[in-house]
Amino acid sequence: MHQAQQWPEAELVLDARARLGEGPVWDEIAGVLAWVDILAPAIHVYRPSDGSDLLIPLPSPVGAVALRERGGFVLALEDGFWLRDADGTLRFLAPVEADDPSIRMNDGGVDPAGRFYCGTMAYDERPGVAALYRLEPDGRVDRLFGGATISNGIDWSPDGRSCWYIDTPTLGVDRFDYDHETGALTNRRRVITIEPGQGSPDGLTVDAEGGVWVAFWGGWCVRRYLPDGTRDRVVQVPAAQVTSCAFGGELLDELYITTAWNGLSASDREAQPHAGGLFRTRPGVRGVRARRFGG
């Protein structure tokens, strides 16, 4: 039986106190980590070289941020897809369920062809109403499937042949076959099953070896799984609500981890003074460069 390796606890690098930190992505050109506080709502741009953190306010809750080929960001805000140009101009691109204020955009990621995939969830987390959407570089939006509850982490394998995906309440991580030409996701199957009581799977990232790193809400950790679903490594985090992770640094050998304090009681917040902070560890493997939206 494969025994998961325990790694040193992740270190705090920014005491951001984000209400709901999420979605980190490393910009290797600028040497910064972009991430979001969904409920602030805002983009954070953390520069590890000097420890600075630029806060960019947004007009509505933000589920995800990704880099663009043309500079700036593509964003999943409450009502759909937006662009933020390099000069700071914010532009609405395409609506997603904008007529239903009980639904908001949640986690997302860019595929190997430069498309942006992002899911939704209900504010009250009612089951079965969430979906996964795909934004093409030309601005077209396709609904890929519905029936989800909290559409969450999504990333692609290094060989570009498969896609990993989380619908949080199912307590598992699914794998799809991925078509580079069309962006289609097919042959969905459960590969990683989470035992109850270990926390709920939230965001994820895939490393250069194909390992899947999963952040656990309520689990105080990030865990690495091999492509066959075997648990391989565990990084403890001194905050219960671990939300997502991404590789960064000059060599892509640093794993940045976001957390949240939203929903914690006063006593829990006192016991977790750095909940909502940004953490980092060096987990012994490297990531891959962040893919950029082609629009």
Catalytic residues: 202
Going by the DSSP 8-state scheme, the letter that residue 110 receives in this structure is E
Cα three-residue angle 194-200-206, rounded to 5 degrees: 75
Structure tokens at 54: 């630029």
Going by the DSSP 8-state scheme, the letter that residue 10 receives in this structure is P
Distance (Å, rounded) from C-alpha 193 to C-alpha 172? Answer: 4
19: closest CA among 257, 260, 258? 260
Structure tokens at 228: 């066959």
Q: Are 276 and 40 in contact (CB under 8 A)?
A: no
Please give the torsion angle defined by the CA atoms of residues 183, 133, 116 and 97, in that order, rounded to the nearest 10 degrees: 150
Which residues are CB-contacts of 273 (< 8 A; sequence separation ≥ 6)? none
Distance (Å, rounded) from C-alpha 159 to C-alpha 140? Answer: 26
Strand 5-7 versus strand 90-95 pairing type: unpaired
H-helix or E-strand containing 267?
A: helix 266-271
What number of other Cβ atoms are within 10 A of residue 87's Cβ?
7
Sign of dihedral through CA atoms 104, 61, 205, 71? positive
**Cis ω for the linkage preceding 196 (within 30 of 0):** no
Structure tokens at 34: 């972009």
